[in-house]
């Protein structure tokens, strides 16, 4: 494997600086954001690199659990931040976080104990990247699906209530909206499975190949990851939508949009 030197990275950073200068000249208003995001990348990735280095040196279930929880909470916060109208109170955070916990954690543990079969099963070299990829994708799916569900319910309030007036139960009254939300949550992973290898080389596979793995070994890992991600996203989105759909109504099947916050500016 060819290791990168500080000079190599500085050259790449120079490209970002050049783009920022161009944006400043063209008054796109992007240069600030671009520089801040670039700096964040450097700092965050260096930090996680150090954390992973320490983690790999001391294989300990407690440490792996700790970092997993930090990743989960960060993903939960991200899901909440991406909602136009989020559920008020604890639910706004708990709904997405809970759904990610049961799907991503269960599937990661299953993969580690059966498919990848590392020893010990929580070996951080496998556990942390695997969980990270699952959480990242499940997070996007859940955020999209929840946002779709709540904004559509808000827009179609009159229709949902009309159906309730005609005697529909709550889950029947939003069945179509739920289905649409499910589709928008699952679309990204379905698309990337369909396009894998044709349109794009998936990032993880590319990384393994760059690191010197035989291409077919990298491909097998990528297939495994894609399958895990699609199952994890599917279960996670299903769970989140189930919780959210129930939460949009009360026990008398009344539509309770007062449980949602106002639109985010």
Partner 1 sequence: MVELERSYMSSLNVIDLRTHERGPYSLSIAPGECVSLRGDSGSGKSLLLRAIADLDPHEGQVLLDNMPVTQFTAPQWRKRVALLPAESQWWQDEVGAHFPTEECPWFEPLGFGTETMRWQVSRLSSGEKQRLALARILMNKPRVLLLDEPTASLDANNVITVERLIDEYRHTTDAAVLWVSHDAQQATRVGNRHLQLTTKGIREDLA
Binding site for partner 1 (CB under 8 A): 156, 158-159, 161-170, 176, 250, 252-255
User: Rounded to whole angstroms, how far apart are CA atoms 45 and 15?
Assistant: 19
Least distance from partner 1 to the Cβ atom of residue 182, Å: 18
CB of 250 to partner 1, least distance (A): 7
CB-CB contact of 38 with 13 (8 Å): yes
CB of 258 to partner 1, least distance (A): 9
43 or 169: whose CB is closer to partner 1? 169
Taking the C-alpha atoms of residue 243 and residue 101, their distance in angstroms, rounded to an integer, is 14
Nearer to partner 1 (CB atom), residue 63 or residue 91 = 91
Q: Which is closer to partner 1, CB of 65 or CB of 162?
A: 162
CA triple 103-109-112, angle to 5 deg: 135
Shorter beta-carbon distance to partner 1: residue 156 or 213: 156
Strand partners, 87: 260
CA angle 205, 37, 9 (to 5 degrees): 60
Choose between 134 and 160: whose C-beta lies nearer to partner 1.
160
Min separation Cβ 256 and partner 1, Å: 8
8 Å CB contact between 96 and 74: no
Q: In angstroms, rounded to a whole number, what is the distance separating the alpha carbons of residues 232 and 262?
A: 30
Q: How far is the CB of 248 from partner 1 (least distance, A)?
A: 14
């Amino acid at each position: 494997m060819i290791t990168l030197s500080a000079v190599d990275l500085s050259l790449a950073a120079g490209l970002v600086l050049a783009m920022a200068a161009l944006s400043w000249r063209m008054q796109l208003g992007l240069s600030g954001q671009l520089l801040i995001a670039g700096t964040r990348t450097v700092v965050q990735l260096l930090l996680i690199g150090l954390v992973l280095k320490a983690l790999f040196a001391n294989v300990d279930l407690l440490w792996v659990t700790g970092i997993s929880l930090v990743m989960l909470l960060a993903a939960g916060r991200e899901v909440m931040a991406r909602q136009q109208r989020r559920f008020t109170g604890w639910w706004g955070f708990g709904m997405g976080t809970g759904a990610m916990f049961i799907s991503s954690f269960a599937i990661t543990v299953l993969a580690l104990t059966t498919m990848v079969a590392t020893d010990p099963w929580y070996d951080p070299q496998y556990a942390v990247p695997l969980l990270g990829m699952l959480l990242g994708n499940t997070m996007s799916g859940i955020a999209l699906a929840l946002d779709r569900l709540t904004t559509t319910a808000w827009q179609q309030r009159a229709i949902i209530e009309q159906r309730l007036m005609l005697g529909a139960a709550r889950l029947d009254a939003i069945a179509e909206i739920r289905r649409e939300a499910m589709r928008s949550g699952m679309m990204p992973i379905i698309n990337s499975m369909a396009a894998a290898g044709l349109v794009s080389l998936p990032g993880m596979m590319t990384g393994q190949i760059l690191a010197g793995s035989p291409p077919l070994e990298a491909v097998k890992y990528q297939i495994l990851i894609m399958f895990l991600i699609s199952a994890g996203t599917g279960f996670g989105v299903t769970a989140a939508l189930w919780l959210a759909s129930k939460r949009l109504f009360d026990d008398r099947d009344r539509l309770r949009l007062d449980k949602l916050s106002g639109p985010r500016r």
